[in-house]
Amino acid sequence: MQRSFATCCLFLVALLALLGTGTARADSRCSERSATRLLPARISCSHQTTWIPSGPLSVRRVIYQTPLGTPPAQGWPVVLIYQGSFFPLNDFTYYSGTPFGGFHEGKLVQTLLDNGYAVIAPSAPADLFWQTNIPGLAQAYELSTDYRFIGNVLQAIRQGHFGWLDPNRQYATGISSGGYNSSRMAVSFPGQFKALAIQSGSYATCSGPACRVPELPADHPPTTFLHGFIDVVVPWWSMDLYYDRLLHQGIETTRYTEPLGGHEWFAASPAHILAWFDAHP
């Protein structure tokens, strides 16, 4: 009997070791599990959910989280993360092997929360893609539901809907469609963002290889780009057009190129984006 009990205990210990268990820092909203033979690596951050109007009769989901601890006197700085096409941020749980480097997006959420940034992830229409570069709406963006929705999200930040946040320290980032939408913040919401980080995207009205970058607003926020050199969805050169225009107008900008990177978040993205936002308080 004793031998059977001991064998059972050893089996359970071995099974737990094989499956892996999530570990969380005491000062983190996130837990992380290493990959095992049976399960992929996972990052999971707790989140809250709210619904924000995008029109007279419609609402969209927004998930968000604030860091642990006491916020600064002016409130937590806040990062809006915009989803890529067809990949909504329904929660802050990510697995290794997720398409388009999704696991590194989870690392970004974790990195921001652990370093004192609130994170807000609004949903694109029907969780599909943003309207910033849709023909017709791109030229009349103020008629789009995105314009009303994002305006309502920014107003909710000012009103304390998401907690004690600092509306004077707002940042935006996103991938693909969400990268274009991050650029839209400079075009249609002037003066509201301290800095932008565009992953695998370009100017607000560009779309893949169809890209023309016009004269930019003089108050365009400092912007960094992260792009794969062999990206076939949003060509690297389309980002470079935007980067060169910022340089030409004397607007602060940097770019990080992943030489063998495609259309995806990179392992380098979280640290690069955090450093960029930290440099623009």
Q: What is the 3-state secondary structure (H, E, C) of the chain?
A: CHHHHHHHHHHHHHHHHHHCCCEECCCCCEEEECCCCCCCCEEEECCEEEEEEEECCEEEEEEEECCCCCCCCCCEEEEEEECECCECCCCEEEECCCHHHHHHHHHHHHHHHHCCCEEEEECCHHHCCCCCCCCCCCCCHHHCHHHHHHHHHHHHHHCCCCCCEEEEEEEEEEECHHHHHHHHHHHHCCCCCCEEEEECCCCCCCECCECCCCCCCCCCCCEEEEEECCCCCCCHHHHHHHHHHHHHCCCCEEEEEECCCCCCCCCCHHHHHHHHHHCCC
Return all residues near 174 (Cβ < 8 A) that are at least 6 apart: 80, 81, 82, 83, 84, 181, 182, 198, 199, 201
Instruction: Identify the band that residue 86 occupies on the pLDDT scale cut at 50, 70 and 90.
Output: confident
Q: What pLDDT, on the 0 to 100 scale, is given for residue 88?
A: 78
Task: For the chain, report the end-to-end CA distance as a whole number of angstroms.
Answer: 65
Instruction: Identify the band that residue 7 occupies on the pLDDT scale cut at 50, 70 and 90.
Output: very low
Length of the chain: 281
Could you tell me which residue, 10 or 252, shows the higher pLDDT? 252
CA pair distance 165, 159, nearest whole angstrom = 9
The Cα angle at residue 218 between residues 217 and 222, in degrees rounded to 5:
90
Q: What are phi and psi of 44, to 5 degrees?
A: -135, 120
**Cα Rg for the chain, rounded, in angstroms?**
20
Please report how the helices 177-188 and 145-158 are oriented relative to each other, as an axis angle in degrees rounded to 10. 70
Q: How far is CA 118 from CA 44, 45, 201, 232, in A?
A: 16, 12, 23, 32
The arithmetic mean of pLDDT across residues 83-98, rounded, is 88
Q: What are phi and psi of 274, to 5 degrees?
A: -60, -45
> What's this model's pTM, rounded to 2 decimal places?
0.89
The yes-or-no verdict on residue 155 having pLDDT over 60 is yes
Q: What pLDDT, on the 0 to 100 scale, is given for residue 18?
A: 39
pLDDT, mean over the chain? 91
The yes-or-no verdict on residue 16 having pLDDT over 50 is no
Both tokens assigned to 208: 């893949």
Q: What pLDDT, on the 0 to 100 scale, is given for residue 199?
A: 98
Could you tell me which residue, 126 or 151, shows the higher pLDDT? 151
Instruction: Identify the band that residue 1 occupies on the pLDDT scale cut at 50, 70 and 90.
Output: very low
The Cα angle at residue 210 between residues 205 and 211, in degrees rounded to 5:
55
Q: What pLDDT, on the 0 to 100 scale, is given for residue 24?
A: 57
Both tokens assigned to 255: 């770019």
- Tokens 């909710």 correspond to what residue? 156
The yes-or-no verdict on residue 38 having pLDDT over 50 is yes
